[in-house]
Amino acid sequence: MIHTAVLKKEVLEYLNPGHNENFVDCTVGEGGHAEEILFKNGPEGKLLGIDLDPYQVVVSQRLQVQFKDRITIVNDSYSNLSEIIERKNFKEVNGILMDLGMSSVQLEGTEKGFSFKMEQGLDMRYNDQLTYLNAEKIVNEWPEEKIEKIIREYGEEKFSKKIAKNIIEQRKLGRIKTTFQLTEIIKNSISPAYQRGKIHYATRTFQALRIAVNDELENIKKVLPQALEILSSGGRLVVISFHSLEDRIIKNYFNQLAKKQKIKILTKKPITASRDEIKENPRSRSAKLRAFIKI
Ligand code: SAH
């Protein structure tokens, strides 16, 4: 399983890396985007890559063979961006990239229970050292209302009420421990038509749990002002989101800054993947790219 970086051409167009400029990739993942940037910002330009998942850090370290000391990779959360920049003494930042969410390698190549297609424990943490909460704790320990709320809000799941109710019923009989147990509960909570739907019926609930476990929306809120602060004037921020709640946070923040004349928005409407890209890489289906230049 290899992860295909989304909107590659568009990321380069909006980040516009020039010779000897410096970039931060807040979600370096397997390094697909980072590599493209490093091809453009030579011979002296640097890239600082951040990823919360220690496995992803190992994977993207492959780039060190090729790009040597032009690339530094840090295992941390982008919500600590300012501190990481300070610690690594990474100055003069010309561009920052964030490609939110998770990668296909994490979805299908790890044993953290991100996928309903494999029987695994319900964990879903990108980093089990830095995060305490996991998906098993949520489904077995949270009150029904709180479970219902995250499935509805983070999953935009119309059967959230029924799913939450059935989780509570089921856990009375014993702890819910695996992906398949959860998928079975979801299956018994939805309509037959939904069960045969185009998107697998467990997708939305699994997404909701992943967002809650990793506090993904809070992290985005935390990183945006730090990104603005760190950028040199004329520097660019490019953010790719995969979920309407994420996109709303980003859009509102950009609009607020544009009003204060701190930035110039480069994307009136979010940029989305072409039909060809969606055909090749289904993950790009929901991708939305927004970009600004710091004034
Ligand atoms: N652009 C990458 C793919 C990124 S997938 C590529 O081309 O390969 C999203 C990545 O964000 C995942 O590797 C995930 O571990 C990471 N991630 C999620 N939350 C994070 C956080 N708070 N801080 C840093 N990285 C995070």
Given this model, what pLDDT does residue 282 score?
A: 83
pLDDT digits (tens, 9 = 90+) for 124-181: 999 999 999 999 999 999 999 999 999 999 999 999 999 999 999 999 999 999 999 9
Ligand 1 neighbour 30 (Cβ under 6 A): yes
Closest-CA residue, ligand 1 atom 23, reads 77
Closest CA to 263 of 227, 218, 222, 217: 227
Given this model, what pLDDT does residue 109 score?
A: 83
Structure tokens at 210: 């992943």
DSSP collapsed to 3 states, the chain = CCCCCCCHHHHHHHHCCCCCCCEEECCCCCCHHHHHHHHHCCCCCCEEEEECCHHHHHHHCCHHHHHHHHEEEEECCHHHHHHHHHHCCCCCEEEEEEECCCCHHHHHHCCCCCCCCCCCECCCCCCCCCCCCCHHHHHHHCCHHHHHHHHHHCCCCCCHHHHHHHHHHHHHCCCCCEHHHHHHHHHCCCCHHHHCCCCCCCHHHHHHHHHHHCCHHHHHHHHHHHHHHHEEEEEEEEEEECCHHHHHHHHHHHHHHHHCCCEEECCCCCECCCHHHHHHCHHHHHCEEEEEEEC
Ligand 1 neighbour 103 (Cβ under 6 A): yes
Given this model, what pLDDT does residue 188 score?
A: 97
- Over the chain, what is the mean pLDDT? 96
Ligand 1 neighbour 99 (Cβ under 6 A): yes
2 pLDDT exceeds 90? no
Percent of the chain at pLDDT above 70?
A: 100
Number of the ligand 1 atom closest to the C-alpha atom of 223: 22
Contact 155, 207 (CB under 8 A): yes
Distance 57 CA to ligand 1 centre (A): 10
Least confident of 9-18, 38-47, 100-109: 100-109
Given this model, what pLDDT does residue 62 score?
A: 94
Structure tokens at 184: 């079975």
Probe target for ligand 1 pocket from 126, 133, 210, 286, with the most ligand atoms within 8 Å of CB? 126
pLDDT digits (tens, 9 = 90+) for 69-121: 999 999 999 999 999 999 999 989 999 999 998 888 888 888 999 999 999 99
Percent of the chain at pLDDT above 90?
A: 94
What is the distance between the alpha carbons of residues 220 and 70, in angstroms, rounded to a whole number? 27
Mean pLDDT (whole number) for 204-209 = 97
Given this model, what pLDDT does residue 1 score?
A: 57
Number of the ligand 1 atom closest to the C-alpha atom of 5: 7
Probe target for ligand 1 pocket from 51, 85, 112, 216, with the most ligand atoms within 8 Å of CB? 51
pTM of this structure: 0.96
What is the distance between the alpha carbons of residues 149 and 113, in angstroms, rounded to a whole number? 21
3 pLDDT exceeds 90? no
